[in-house]
Amino acid sequence: MTASRSTRPLARRTILKALGGAVVATPLLATAGCGGASAAPNTLRVSYQQWGSGRIHGTYLQRAAASFALRHPDVTVELVPLVASENDYFTKNELMMSSERTTSDIVYEDTFILKSDIAAGYLRPIDDRVASWPLWNEFYDVARKAVQGEDGRTYAIPAPTDTRALWYNQELFTQAGIPLPWEPRSWDDLLATFRTLKQQLPDVVPVNIFAGKPQGEKTSMQGVQMLLYGTGSVMYDEATRKWITGSAGLVESLRFIQTLYAEELGPGIADALDANISETIYTSWLPEGKIAVALDGNWINQNWGPGKPGEWPEWAQTMAVAAMPTQSGQDPGVVTLAGGWSWGLPSRARNPELAWQFLTEMCSTEHVLAWTIDDNKVSNRRDVVNHPEYRGYSPTIEFFTGLVPMATYRPALAPYPQISTALQTAADAAMRGAPPEAAVAEYDLAVADIVGGDSTAQEA
């Protein structure tokens, strides 16, 4: 997930050229590229982001295509993996959807950019379709809300999600005399634990909470917002449709970050500003016992499997997880943010009925279960959560799944990427010692500049 769109949109000719060689071929998939021409009437294109050499999404879609072909032997499914950074992926996806000639029939959409694409007219509403789809009722309400436009209509089907919490090293806690299991109830509890760790284990970094600008969206989502939404403040008021300025909760969040670094409870500033610190933490510091706590996502244990960069066979016995508490333990008691992608139907695609049929195949319990496990994701639907294969696929999956119903999603609005960048700048400033009030004042000015003063409101 990323903080902002690319500032240099790719030319349409470049997009089409890239697509020509981007189709994955299997016995069930067309071998021709898009070539800029419209697809045949019985050909469906499915575009999605491919991260480097990763093949998990492709494997999932190939399975779905194989099942679909048994009932629709006359239909060809073309997979269009777009190998791109997140920013470039958004640009490619939007350029494709802007034309009937180039659009895919099904597209993979990050929920935080969804409302922007809805406002641009790229996606068609699917309320009538989901109303008669039995599995729609299996999704948690928070997931269904995440794929709604500002008009309240549904525009996509949620994909598996992720949640965030506190990973901690039980062996280090025991060495420091901290009782297990660790169940912090407030920020004061957190600070007390981190101070004890520093005092008892001076060679161990007590905690990492991302706060540097080089960490991009990690700082915004896994850092600042995991604090902010525990204060009672919000970034965006859904009722008034205003971006909030003068946020007391943001001041408190930045003060907490500043305290961590002023008291040397987190990584050194040089490490905190290293763009690769997350990789260092996942593959070195955590497995080697050099850090005690990490505020991070459910997925980080994928770094510790066989053959992975941070291979760590004992991780499940060493590491445990705790929910991030609200500031003073006030309701709801814990905080988590959920990321989320989704599958949508472009408004300019020519065969929405056939696309919907394949989309429901893709989103069957069987296919989504396998995809969720393969990709180390968290499910946001009851039929998958209750499946025995899901419940046992990871030692921590039950915990992270339990956070989904109370999860907060980022504001899924067009200005969010720029505002997120402003939030990262504020956190970075506080980490380096700037007064939190001054950092928030600069953030407020940036927000007003991005959206206009009429689209902001002072916190009540």
Transcribe 210-256 into DSSP letters: ---GGGTHIIIIIIIHHHHTTTT--SEETTTTEEEES-HHHHHHHHH
Would you state the pLDDT for residue 429?
Answer: 98
Q: Which CATH superfamily is domain 12-161+338-394 in?
A: Periplasmic binding protein-like II (3.40.190.10)
* C-beta separation of 178 from 398 below 8 A: no
Distances (CA, A) of 213 to 189, 277, 351, 425, 429: 27, 12, 43, 6, 9
Q: Which helix (H) or strand (E) holds 116?
A: helix 111-119
Cα–chain center distance at 22? 25
Q: What is the pTM of this model?
A: 0.84
SS3 letters across 300-321: HHHHHCCCCCCCCCCHHHHEEE
Q: Which CATH architecture has domain 164-335?
A: 3-Layer(aba) Sandwich (3.40)
Provide the pairing of β-strand 242-245 with 456-458.
parallel
Torsion of the alpha carbons at 101, 107, 111 and 112, rounded to the nearest 10? -40
C-alpha neighbours within 13 Å on the C-beta side of residue 278: 21
pLDDT digits (tens, 9 = 90+) for 139-186: 999 999 999 998 999 999 999 999 999 999 999 999 999 999 999 999
| Rounded Cα distance, 400 and 426, in Å | 29
Q: Which of 52, 289, 334 is nearest to 166 (CA)?
A: 334
- Per CATH, 12-161+338-394 and 164-335 having the same topology is answered yes
| Rounded Cα distance, 92 and 43, in Å | 21
Provide, for the chain, the percentages of residues in helix, strand and coil under a 3-state DSSP scheme, each rounded to the nearest 5.
45, 15, 40
Cα–chain center distance at 323? 18
Could you state, in chain order, the average pLDDT of each consecutive group of 10 residues for the chain (460 residues)?
A: 34 35 33 44 91 83 97 96 81 94 96 88 98 98 93 97 98 99 99 99 99 94 98 96 98 99 98 95 98 98 93 98 99 94 96 97 98 95 97 95 94 89 98 98 98 96
Q: Which residues 6+ apart lie within 8 Å of 311 measured at CB?
A: 287, 304, 305
* C-beta separation of 89 from 10 below 8 A: no
* C-beta separation of 426 from 250 below 8 A: yes
Instruction: List the alpha helices (DSSP H) in 185-274.
Output: 187-200, 217, 225-228, 248-262, 269-272
Provide the pairing of β-strand 164-169 with 319-322.
antiparallel
DSSP helix/strand/coil, 125: coil
Tally Cβ neighbours within 10 Å of residue 457.
16
| Per-residue tokens: 321 | 């997880």
Domain regions of the chain by residue span: 12-161+338-394, 164-335
